[in-house]
Amino acid sequence: MARTPLSRDAIVDAAFEQLAETGLDGITARALAGRLGVRAGALYYHVRDMTELTDEMATRILRRLLDEPIPDEAAADWRELLRTSGHRIRTTLLSYRDGAKLVSGTTLLDDDALRRLEEPVRVLAAAGMTPLDAQRALVALNALVTGYVIEEQHRHPVPGENRITAEARRARLDPDEQPLQYALSEEMATLPVDTFDWALEALIAGIGVRVGL
């Protein structure tokens, strides 16, 4: 079988395969070169460095998010826009191993995707926010969701693997001296989706108070 010609897209494809197998820390020039059957130096004809590679990977993920149209109910209600966006971001990031860590601090490289960031700001501005408040609300939402998913993926790096268990946490606590934390061990170990919903609704309510809506 003929080898796929080396290209920027082929390198990004290989990086996503590596991500699924080993997580973000396993994406190295040597690992990708071995997967692609080339010398590591050949990669740098197509991507300048590993930062540019992670930018490309993050852009693919963000493009997937931004390609989804805003539902009518979200376009008509700023709270529903933030709520829907929060759940979409979380679901998308969770679908990639280390997805939240991957997108954190990266640069969106796709100009069309960048232009689509206009629409959610427009919806929030139409609801009565200033453009600056609208942008800050979206930044706050993204920070909440990304940070939350980083915590989720730390606890459960792959399905069925739990780095933190309620039993192990309780073993480190004295139920007489720390009864509240002892009782909360299941919550802290699992980070149930109800906790995400609580945090998201608290953020939305706080934004409403902040902007007077």
pLDDT bin (cut points 50, 70, 90) of residue 3 is: low
What is the secondary structure of the chain as a DSSP string? -PPPPP-HHHHHHHHHHHHHHH-GGG--HHHHHHHHTS-HHHHTTT-SSHHHHHHHHHHHHHHHHHTSPPPHHHHT-HHHHHHHHHHHHHHHHHTSTTHHHHHTT-----HHHHHTTHHHHHHHHHTT--HHHHHHHHHHHHHHHHHHHHHHHHH-SSTT--SS-HHHHHHTS-TTTSHHHHHTHHHHHH--HHHHHHHHHHHHHHHHHHHT-
What gap in Å lies between CA 16 and CA 12, rounded to an integer? 6
Domain ranges of the chain: 71-211
Q: What is the pLDDT of residue 1?
A: 40
Give every CB contact of residue 162 below 8 A, 6+ residues apart in sequence. 155, 156, 189
71-211: CATH topology: Tetracycline Repressor; domain 2 (1.10.357)
| Confidence class for position 182, pLDDT limits 50, 70, 90 | very high
Task: Please name which of 98, 22, 6, 114 lies closest in space to residue 59, comparing C-alpha atoms.
Answer: 114
- Amino acid 4: pLDDT: 67
pLDDT band at 5 (very low <50, low <70, confident <90, very high): confident
What is the pLDDT at residue 2? 45
103-107, 153-157, 178-182, 202-206: segment of lowest average pLDDT: 153-157
Higher pLDDT, 164 or 25: 25
Encode pLDDT of 185-212 as tens digits: 999 888 888 999 999 999 999 999 999 9
